[in-house]
A and B are shown apart, each in its own frame.
Chain A
């Protein structure tokens, strides 16, 4: 099994702060890797480094065997690596359909307008935004805006999708529906790297989980192994004692 994404020794320095420090990981074709960690651990920063929003201070990012380190975002997405934003960034005064057509036109397949419209319509149905396709993006609810982020990224026909907290701020019904959407995406063979705080989702979707703390990789493994790792519990709950106490009393 060759790796689709291979990150080695990735670091970035903001002034005196080392936000991401010597992180290594890889991701196989079609795999779902969950990325968890406390707030400020550097999860979103890793996304920004991978898709070219920020240039890394050091390290190397190989995608599909090609060195994409330091590429501009528009080049990365055309190469088949799309992402969503934690704080949604819809193209406000454009309709849901137009937002997705942008994704198709300028994505990996470099579609014509007509082909991108066709593709966008199909993807919009798939994520359950069908009845809102003509609505301006600014008028969507937050749950729908999150789906639009995913739809737009999918229109680019990516081989790897970076999902930044697509479940945050959704109510339980919406979460359940979104998890179905993500499962459908995985069935198409798209690999996913997802940042998520919602453990229920991470546990049910991820093949593997990586934990980040203070910019460093703390643990990596199957979901079950990672959540029982004392170091991980300490990072989330403070001290191992606290965890034992909670377990004992619960």
Chain B
């Protein structure tokens, strides 16, 4: 069993156990809420890493997957009375399918044109959703307390949603890790380095890019469905918030793009910083000022992020912190 000897396997399982166990055993609700947001951040940053870190395409509108997944999830649970888990899975399948079609169109673009197109998609979807009356238009949808009854009431439902999100966080990390070590991942890396050279070497760039764009939307969409189910309300401005897209990019750059642990560590650190700054009474949204400065400093001085920097100083750790 060579898989069991991989440090990465134990790192991921250890992180999941800590996230589930720390608030789980003591029943600490405040800690749970904090870690819930951290886990969401790790999910967003890890899946964004598949595009930015692995394939070299900056998806600035990555939050569209999360928001659209949330809408589909809330719609299926409240309007159609679906149980939570099937609703979240179907929401993710729908989002990934839509992403595949969008991807085939916009992935012809390269560099900053692609990035602009991803912002355009997020804004277009936001505008579209604001005009769908069945989804509550610009006021959104509210969940009634009765949707939590099948899960044993609101109190227990929050715990169940939390553990499900931890599961998705683990799945995101495993997905990043497996893709990184696969032939598919190698093709993505080749595209990141030089798309035309990759094509001459036999990689089918259009296919690979569309597939990874679609895959990178699946787990964030599930997370969105769970997040807004727990949230009790979903509105276009909250679901398709470009601020969250930007923050996910900062997390990724902070930890180190292209690295599984980098995305996770960056998300964790940034989220700790954000929760500290958000509760400060002096500034509202002060974390965005910090985020901007951080991004600038990272790009200028440590383009490899924290994990990249560690890997350069202690090359032996590179094998462990993939």
Question: Do B202 and A78 touch across chains, with their CB atoms under 8 A apart?
Answer: yes
Point out which of B182, B187, B189, B193 has the most chain A C-beta atoms below 10 A from its C-beta. B193
Q: Can you list, as one digit per residue, whether each of B195-228 has a CB less than 8 Å from chain A (1) or not (0)?
A: 0111111111100000000000000000000000
Question: Do B186 and A77 touch across chains, with their CB atoms under 8 A apart?
Answer: no
B147 in the interface (beta carbon within 8 A): no
CB distance from A223 to the nearest CB of B (A): 29
Q: Which of A93-101, A190-198, A227-235 sits within the interface? A: A93-101
Question: Do A102 and B187 touch across chains, with their CB atoms under 8 A apart?
Answer: yes
A89 in the interface (beta carbon within 8 A): yes
CB within 8 Å of B: which of A80-110?
Answer: 83, 85, 89-94, 98, 101-103, 105-107
CB within 8 Å of B: which of A85-144?
Answer: 85, 89-94, 98, 101-103, 105-107, 112-113, 116
Separation of A14 and B190 alpha carbons in the complex (Å): 29
Question: Do B183 and A91 touch across chains, with their CB atoms under 8 A apart?
Answer: no
Question: Do B197 and A89 touch across chains, with their CB atoms under 8 A apart?
Answer: yes
Question: Do A74 and B199 touch across chains, with their CB atoms under 8 A apart?
Answer: yes
Closest to B207 in A: A74
Question: Do B193 and A92 touch across chains, with their CB atoms under 8 A apart?
Answer: yes
B312 in the interface (beta carbon within 8 A): no
A53 in the interface (beta carbon within 8 A): yes
Closest to A116 in B: B183
Question: Do A103 and B199 touch across chains, with their CB atoms under 8 A apart?
Answer: no
CB within 8 Å of A: which of B58-94?
Answer: none
Question: Do B189 and A73 touch across chains, with their CB atoms under 8 A apart?
Answer: no
B194 in the interface (beta carbon within 8 A): yes
Closest to B190 in A: A102
Instruction: Using C-beta atoms within 8 Å of the partner chain, give the interface range for chain A.
Output: 20 to 34
A103-B202 in contact given A92-B193, A93-B193, A94-B193 (Cβ < 8 Å): yes
Point out which of B190, B199, B201 has the most chain A C-beta atoms below 10 A from its C-beta. B201
Question: Do B204 and A91 touch across chains, with their CB atoms under 8 A apart?
Answer: no
Instruction: Using C-beta atoms within 8 Å of the partner chain, give the interface range for chain B.
Output: 10 to 19
Closest to A155 in B: B201
Question: Do B199 and A72 touch across chains, with their CB atoms under 8 A apart?
Answer: yes
CB distance from A102 to the nearest CB of B (A): 5
CB distance from A197 to the nearest CB of B (A): 22
Question: Do A91 and B193 touch across chains, with their CB atoms under 8 A apart?
Answer: yes
Question: Do A77 and B182 touch across chains, with their CB atoms under 8 A apart?
Answer: no
Question: Do A102 and B200 touch across chains, with their CB atoms under 8 A apart?
Answer: no
Question: Do A102 and B203 touch across chains, with their CB atoms under 8 A apart?
Answer: yes
Question: Do B201 and A94 touch across chains, with their CB atoms under 8 A apart?
Answer: no
Separation of A152 and B200 alpha carbons in the complex (Å): 10
Question: Do A83 and B193 touch across chains, with their CB atoms under 8 A apart?
Answer: no
Closest to B182 in A: A113
Q: Which of B183, B193, B202 contacts A77 (CB 8 A)?
A: B202
Separation of A85 and B197 alpha carbons in the complex (Å): 9
Separation of A51 and B202 alpha carbons in the complex (Å): 11
Separation of A101 and B186 alpha carbons in the complex (Å): 9
Contacts of B196 in A (CB 8 A): 53, 73, 89
Separation of A92 and B197 alpha carbons in the complex (Å): 11
Question: Do B202 and A74 touch across chains, with their CB atoms under 8 A apart?
Answer: yes
A73-B200 in contact given A91-B194, A92-B193 (Cβ < 8 Å): yes
Q: Which of A72, A77, A112 contacts B201 (CB 8 A)?
A: A77
A156 in the interface (beta carbon within 8 A): yes
Contacts of B200 in A (CB 8 A): 51, 53, 73-74, 77, 83, 85, 89
Question: Do A156 and B189 touch across chains, with their CB atoms under 8 A apart?
Answer: no
Q: Which of A53, A72, A93, A106 contacts B187 (CB 8 A)?
A: A106
Question: Do A113 and B198 touch across chains, with their CB atoms under 8 A apart?
Answer: no
Closest to A89 in B: B197
Contacts of B199 in A (CB 8 A): 72-74
Contacts of B186 in A (CB 8 A): 98, 101-102, 105, 113
Contacts of A78 in B (CB 8 A): 202
Separation of A93 and B186 alpha carbons in the complex (Å): 12
Question: Do A107 and B182 touch across chains, with their CB atoms under 8 A apart?
Answer: no
Contacts of A53 in B (CB 8 A): 196, 200
Contacts of A92 in B (CB 8 A): 193-194
Contacts of A116 in B (CB 8 A): 183
Contacts of A89 in B (CB 8 A): 194, 196-197, 200
Question: Do A106 and B202 touch across chains, with their CB atoms under 8 A apart?
Answer: yes
Closest to A93 in B: B193
A94-B189 in contact given A89-B196, A103-B202, A107-B202 (Cβ < 8 Å): yes
Question: Do B182 and A102 touch across chains, with their CB atoms under 8 A apart?
Answer: no
Contacts of B190 in A (CB 8 A): 91, 94, 102, 106
Separation of A26 and B189 alpha carbons in the complex (Å): 36
Q: Can you list, as one digit per residue, whether each of A31-53 has a CB less than 8 Å from chain B (1) or not (0)?
A: 00000000000000000000101
Point out which of A93, A106, A116, A156 has the most chain B C-beta atoms below 10 A from its C-beta. A106
Question: Do B203 and A91 touch across chains, with their CB atoms under 8 A apart?
Answer: no
Known A72-B199, A98-B186, A106-B203; 13 more pairs at CB < 8 Å: A73-B196, A85-B200, A90-B197, A91-B189, A91-B197, A94-B193, A98-B189, A101-B186, A106-B187, A107-B201, A113-B182, A113-B186, A116-B183
What are 15 A-B pairs at a CB distance below 8 A? A72-B204, A77-B201, A78-B202, A85-B197, A91-B189, A91-B197, A94-B189, A98-B186, A98-B189, A102-B203, A105-B186, A106-B187, A106-B203, A107-B202, A156-B202
